[in-house]
Structure 1
Amino acid sequence: MIKSKKKDIRKLSSDKIKDFLVENGEKGFRAKQIQDWLWKSSVTSFEDMTNISKKTRELLNEHFEILPISVFKAQQSNDGTIKSAFQLHDKHLVEGVLIPAEPRMTACISSQVGCSLTCSFCATGYMDRKRNLDAAEIYDQVVAIDKQAQDAYNTGLTNIVYMGMGEPLLNYKNVLESVEKITSPNGLGMSAKRITVSTAGIAKMIRKLGDDDVKFNLALSLHAANDEKRNQIMPINEQNTLEVLREALKYYFSKTKNPVTYEYIVFNNFNDSLQDAEELYQFTKHLPSKVNIIEYNPISEADFLNAKVDKIQRFADYLSKKGVNVHVRRSRGKDIDAACGQLANKEK
């Protein structure tokens, strides 16, 4: 692929665009109009910027490019879930999911092409990490999935979860930039409280979230509350032990006052006993939190099975009686491999 000499205009700040315009004899106030077209209106061509003169559009087109994502393939599940393979400008593919669950309309979006963390139960973990997504590529997924929601259900998105392909905290800068654009009145204007960023547990970056006083929600993909078991399924735990994670989460909460969500997939005969539930309670009791119990969605690369329904309920009841705010989440989009842990666009 021949690398373009043009700059990606969405990587420039409004001030940088303004400087460029002034240097080229244009009015500086046009920068605000251009930014509105790029982010509020999500245009993909300079020609669509209709309140800007043809001469200025030609100048922009000569020096810059817009690199939008496109829907490569979309599938709709029997339960109404829509999974999309999004193609990036360099032909890489990532997946995003629209999850309609009254009263919510949730977009599950990706932050990396592939993943480097090799969690044994997750299809994405069996892929190589090719690269991080730019803030604009993350943003574009939200715009595209919102359009799908409008077209299919006549309503816009209510929630966004960074739970697709990749580890968001290993793409920290772009993830935070994308949240800023999504929540900005000069972007999509969504509330940060409607956004959840999920991590497999990068302790130093959890602390950084606290230092940056983020307003969005944080979820930890826990899945086992003792180190021996968690090491087996999540190698990241070897460098980020449960004790280290607990201290990082306490620091994060002390800075942000945001409760933490713990995601816990229940695997048959692995982490579904009452002893496991007790260990989970002991881990979560240190700060305000909630626990989402998640059904496991089998993948061809792994031998795990979902726990039995009665065991899941007994597990949840045990936590509830301990005063834990616990919810059992049912899988959505399993028939099209759109459920939790199943995203893996195998590139050809």
Structure 2
Amino acid sequence: MDFKQKDIRSLSLEELRSFFKSHGESAFRGNQVYDWLWKKGAHDFEDMTNISLKTRDFLKEHFVINHIRVDKMQRSTDGTIKNAVKLHDGLTVESVMIPTDTRSTACVSSQVGCSLNCEFCATARLKRMRNLNPDEIFDQVVAIDQQSRLYNNRPLSNIVFMGMGEPLMNYNNVIKSIEKITSPDGLNMSPKRITVSTSGVPKMIKKLADEEPKFHLALSLHSAIDEKREKIMPFNKQFPLTDIKEALKYWYEKTGSRVTYEYVVWKGINDNEEDVHELVKFCKLIPCKVNIIEYNSIDDPRFEQASKKSIDMYERQLEKNNIIVNVRRSRGKDIDAACGQLANKE
């Protein structure tokens, strides 16, 4: 890549300082520019008003800021917002803001398309086109924070990596984006307000555990029986539940942090007593909680929301075994913004 086309946000603070020093400028200029990029979310060198016009022109000669653009925003009747986010190369991802009475949550994407092949998820049909860069993930958060302030009169409170893509298949960039989001030099958000959700990549769960992160881990489980999980999540053949269990035990040993299991119950697939029994056994492995998530249709006749009776059976059996369980009602369904529906329909 020609140096003039280099995205300035791919440089670390030290690299920025060195760049200015090597061109006869004060290294402190690097600090000022870094502050504009990461604390203030500048989209353009012209926004950097405490830097001289000459220096801004000099930056324009050498760098670009490949900022995202919210191409289309949709608002649901329940207040949920879905953004179609245009990337610098013309590709699109989607991100969502989910407001409640007490919080505003950003659901961000980490890949264009997805590396995995969950049968019930619209994003999986797109296939993976590329990983998102750390700044592209960061920009989604900044855009949603601005929308939360505008529409809900409060800043963003939580972030979930549950949008398009498998975050642990874009490991380095996801970790770098979280560093920027949580750093005092960036958005200064608490890592305890961030959840990274994986469909289950054992090697990467262990790698993540070795870093002893302060953010939370969620696993899209949906069945604790290998044969069933393979049918709805075919990659489970490569990453069977025995390997995932071992990785989760390792996670808890290293971090002491409980895991959230995300679980959709479908009619005729995982809605009987054996399924509940196996889930209860799985939950006894390490401290955890279970989110039972409402299924959101992607026009596939194989998948249909289970009955209230089945959901109640799950809830009753989990509570009986002292497992924390929440039944989550989907939001943003009228704009295809709910779990599993992000597919760039536009």
Normalised TM-score (structure 2):
0.98
Q: What residue identity is the alignment partner of 1:179?
A: I
- CA shift for structure 1 position 302: 5.2
Instruction: Indicate the residue corresponding to 1:141 in structure 2.
Output: 140
| Residue pair 1:83, 1:96 contacting (<8 A) in 2 also | yes
Structure 2: distance between partners of 1:303 and 1:248: 31
| Residue pair 1:118, 1:235 contacting (<8 A) in 2 also | yes
| Residue pair 1:259, 1:288 contacting (<8 A) in 2 also | yes
Instruction: Indicate the residue corresponding to 1:50 in structure 2.
Output: 49
Instruction: Indicate the residue corresponding to 2:181 in structure 1.
Output: 182
Query: 1:73-98, CA deviations, whole angstroms, 9 ceiling, x for partnerless residues?
Result: 11111111111100000110000000
1:98 matched to 2:97? yes
Instruction: Indicate the residue corresponding to 2:338 in structure 1.
Output: 339
Structure 2: distance between partners of 1:4 and 1:30: 19
Task: Label 1:4 to 1:118 Cα distance change in 2 as closer, same or farther (>3 A).
Answer: farther
Structure 2: distance between partners of 1:283 and 1:314: 17
- CA shift for structure 1 position 5: 4.1
What is the RMSD of the two structures over their aligned residues, measured on CA atoms? 1.3
- CA shift for structure 1 position 303: 2.5
% identical aligned pairs: 58
Structure 2: distance between partners of 1:311 and 1:111: 33
Query: 1:314-334, CA deviations, whole angstroms, 9 ceiling, x for partnerless residues?
Result: 211111111111110001011
**Which stretch shows the higher mean deviation, 187-196 or 301-310?**
301-310
Instruction: Indicate the residue corresponding to 1:291 in structure 2.
Output: 290
Q: What residue identity is the alignment partner of 2:317?
A: Y
Query: 1:271-315, CA deviations, whole angstroms, 9 ceiling, x for partnerless residues?
Result: 122221110010111111100000110102452001112221221
Structure 1: distance between partners of 2:52 and 2:2: 28
Instruction: Indicate the residue corresponding to 1:313 in structure 2.
Output: 312
Where 1:35 maps in the other structure, the secondary structure is helix
Structure 1: distance between partners of 2:301 and 2:87: 28
Structure 2: distance between partners of 1:207 and 1:103: 33
Instruction: Indicate the residue corresponding to 2:78 in structure 1.
Output: 79
| Residue pair 1:121, 1:302 contacting (<8 A) in 2 also | no
Task: Label 1:3 to 1:25 Cα distance change in 2 as closer, same or farther (>3 A).
Answer: closer
Structure 2: distance between partners of 1:237 and 1:5: 44
The count of residues paired between Structure 1 and Structure 2 equals 346
Structure 2: distance between partners of 1:21 and 1:84: 36
Structure 2: distance between partners of 1:24 and 1:12: 16
Q: Which runs of no fewer than 5 residues in structure 2 stay unpaired?
A: none
- CA shift for structure 1 position 252: 1.0
Q: What residue identity is the alignment partner of 1:55?
A: K
| Residue pair 1:297, 1:339 contacting (<8 A) in 2 also | yes
| Residue pair 1:274, 1:318 contacting (<8 A) in 2 also | no
Instruction: Indicate the residue corresponding to 1:21 in structure 2.
Output: 20
Structure 2: distance between partners of 1:260 and 1:177: 22
| Residue pair 1:8, 1:64 contacting (<8 A) in 2 also | yes
